[in-house]
Amino acid sequence: MKIIDIDLTKRRVKLLDDSRLNQFLGGVSLATELFTKNCDPKVDPLSPENPIVFAIGPLTAAYPTAAKTVAMFKSPLNNELGESYAGGRLASAMRFSGYDGIIIRGKASHPVYIAIHDESITIKNAELLWNLRSVFSVGRILRDAEPQGPGRRSFIRTGRAGDRLIKYSYVNVDNYRHFGRLGLGTVFGSKNLKAIVVEGTRDITFPDMKAYKKAYKTIYNHLRDSDDMDKYHILGTSAGIQPMNAIGGLPTRNFSSGRFEFADNISGEYFAENLLLRKIACSQCPVGCIHVAYLRVPYKKEEYDVETTFVPYDYELLYAVGSNLGIEKASDVLRLIEITDRNGLDIITLGGILGWATDAFQQELISHKETMGVVFEYGSTMNYLTAIELLVQRENEFYRTLGEGLDACVKKYGGKDFAITIGGQTPAGYFTGPGSIIGHMIGQRHSHLCNAGYSYDQKHLGKELQYKDLVDSLIKEEQWRQVLNSLVVCLFARKVYNVSRSLESLNAIGLKITKEDLINLGQETYRKKNEWKIAAGQKMSVKRLADRLFSVESPHGYIKREFIQQAIDYYSELTAFPIE
Ligand code: SF4
Nearest to 326 by CA among 245, 390, 251: 251
Span 399-406, average pLDDT: 98
The answer to whether the CB of 86 is under 6 A from ligand 1 is: no
Residue 50 located in a structural domain:
yes
Residue 424 located in a structural domain:
no
Pair 508, 571 in one domain: yes
Residue 522 located in a structural domain:
yes
Pair 398, 449 in one domain: no
Residue 226 located in a structural domain:
no
The confidence score (pLDDT) of residue 231 equals 87
**Structural domains counted in the chain:** 3
Pair 172, 239 in one domain: no
Pair 255, 378 in one domain: yes
* Closest ligand 1 atom number to CA of residue 68: 5
Residue 244 located in a structural domain:
yes
* Closest ligand 1 atom number to CA of residue 288: 7
Give the confidence band of 376 by pLDDT, cuts at 50, 70, 90: very high
Residue 463, domain extent: 434-575
**Ligand 1, from 177, 289, 495: best to mutate by most atoms within 8 Å of Cβ?**
289
The confidence score (pLDDT) of residue 305 equals 82
* Closest ligand 1 atom number to CA of residue 87: 8
Pair 405, 457 in one domain: no
Assign residue 112 the CATH number of its domain.
3.60.9.10
Pair 30, 176 in one domain: yes
The upper half-sphere exposure of residue 152, i.e. CA atoms within 13 Å in the direction of its Cβ, equals: 20
Of 410, 444, 470, the last residue of a domain is 410
Q: Assign 3-state DSSP to the chain and report helix, strand, coil percentages, each to 5.
A: 45, 15, 35
Assign residue 262 the CATH number of its domain.
1.10.569.10
Nearest CA to ligand 1 atom 4: 490
The confidence score (pLDDT) of residue 171 equals 98
The yes-or-no verdict on residue 301 having pLDDT over 80 is no
DSSP labels, 223-269: HHHSGGGHHHHHTGGGGGHHHHHHHT-S-BTTTTBS--TTGGGGSHH
The answer to whether the CB of 67 is under 6 A from ligand 1 is: yes
Residue 222 located in a structural domain:
no
Pair 272, 371 in one domain: yes
Pair 243, 368 in one domain: yes
The confidence score (pLDDT) of residue 227 equals 84
User: Would you state the torsion angle of the CA atoms of residues 206, 288, 492, 236, taken in this order, to the nearest 10 degrees?
Assistant: 180
Q: What pTM was computed for the model?
A: 0.97
Would you say 74 and 233 are in contact if contact means Cβ atoms under 8 Å apart? no
Encode pLDDT of 439-476 as tens digits: 999 999 999 999 999 999 999 999 999 999 999 999 99
CA 253 to chain CA mean position, Å: 22
Span 7-13, average pLDDT: 98
The answer to whether the CB of 488 is under 6 A from ligand 1 is: no
Pair 249, 192 in one domain: no
Residue 223 located in a structural domain:
no
Assign residue 528 the CATH number of its domain.
1.10.599.10
Encode pLDDT of 71-83 as tens digits: 999 999 999 999 9
Pair 135, 246 in one domain: no
Which amino acid is residue 362, in one-letter code? Q
Encode pLDDT of 546-567 as tens digits: 999 999 999 999 999 999 999 9
* Closest ligand 1 atom number to CA of residue 65: 5
Of 145, 176, 200, the last residue of a domain is 200
> Three-class SS string for 291-339?
EEEEEEEECCCCCCCEEEEEEEECHHHHHHCCHHHCCCCHHHHHHHHHH
Residue 219 located in a structural domain:
no
The upper half-sphere exposure of residue 101, i.e. CA atoms within 13 Å in the direction of its Cβ, equals: 33
Of 200, 221, 244, the last residue of a domain is 200
Pair 193, 240 in one domain: no
Pair 499, 402 in one domain: no
* Three-class SS state of 284: coil
Average of per-residue pLDDT values in the chain? 96
The confidence score (pLDDT) of residue 303 equals 72
**Strand residues in 18-60 grouped as ranges (E):** 52-55
